[in-house]
Amino acid sequence: MTLAPILRILVVDDHPLMRSGIAGEINGQPDMRVVAEASDGEEAIAAFKLHRPDVTLMDLRMPGIGGIEAIRRIRTDFPISRFVVLTSSAGDVQVMRAFQAGATGYLLKNLLRTELIDTIRVVHAGRRRMPPELAQQIAEYAMEDAVSPRELEVLQEVSRGKSNKIVAGDLNISEHTVKNHLKSILSKLDASDRTDAVVIAIRRGYIEM
């Protein structure tokens, strides 16, 4: 009788207790083993090169190199590597960035107990997996105009409580240009004012606080 191959998993998260809980769940499966853990993107890249896991569970928000950038760098050298993003954020923009970087699974941390193992199996089989509510969000916003890189810079400055004049000085543009960018941002995000725009941008994953 031929034994099923063991799925080798790399767990990347900056919280030791989170890594420990995930590792315990995975190692409790007869056909899965955690072969390495990492606490940030730089460690993740080194661990991946050393262990070549079948699936990597990657947190997004970490000190130094974040999860999306780590996925992007690993995929440059290992294009068929498979990733499941672990995050507390349900924003559609973050989801799209993760998939564009090369992730094929997206799992909210509050679903780890019920969805983790199945998500690993689905991704290892070469299929995509994300919670239905995230798929619905992506579909809802698919046809909208995206916030441009310059508009995102303005929005990030505004989220720090800066006035239009200070934003203009920091970005080396005119105050009139800042106002035009804000007008466009409000329209694209369907926001009532600049505060509402910041709230929506955080919820959808355009910016992080």
pLDDT at 90: 66
Domains of the chain, CATH where assigned: 7-140 (3.40.50.2300), 149-204 (1.10.10.10)
Nearest residue to 73 (alpha-carbon basis) of 39, 55, 49: 49
pLDDT at 4: 67
- Measured torsion, CA atoms of residues 201, 202, 208, 209, in degrees rounded to the nearest 10: 130
- 1, with CB counted inside 10 A (0-12, 13-18, 19+), is exposed
- 78, with CB counted inside 10 A (0-12, 13-18, 19+), is middle
Distance CA(51)–CA(161), nearest Å, equals 44
Classify 57 as helix, strand or coil. strand
pLDDT 10s digit of each residue in the chain, 209 long? 456 689 999 999 999 999 999 999 999 999 999 999 999 999 999 999 999 999 999 998 888 888 999 999 999 999 999 999 988 876 777 788 888 899 999 888 888 888 999 999 999 999 988 877 777 777 766 666 778 889 989 999 999 999 999 999 999 999 999 999 999 999 888 889 999 999 888 888 788 76
pLDDT at 3: 61
**pTM of the predicted protein model:** 0.74
Distance CA(175)–CA(60), nearest Å, equals 34
- Residue matched to tokens 């995930």: 22
Q: Which two tokens stand for residue 98?
A: 């993760």
Distance CA(168)–CA(172), nearest Å, equals 6
pLDDT at 61: 84
Distance CA(24)–CA(34), nearest Å, equals 9
pLDDT at 146: 78
pLDDT at 1: 44
H or E stretch covering 166: helix 164-171
Rg of the chain (C-alpha set): 19
> DSSP letter at 129?
B
* Residue 119 identity (one-letter amino acid): T
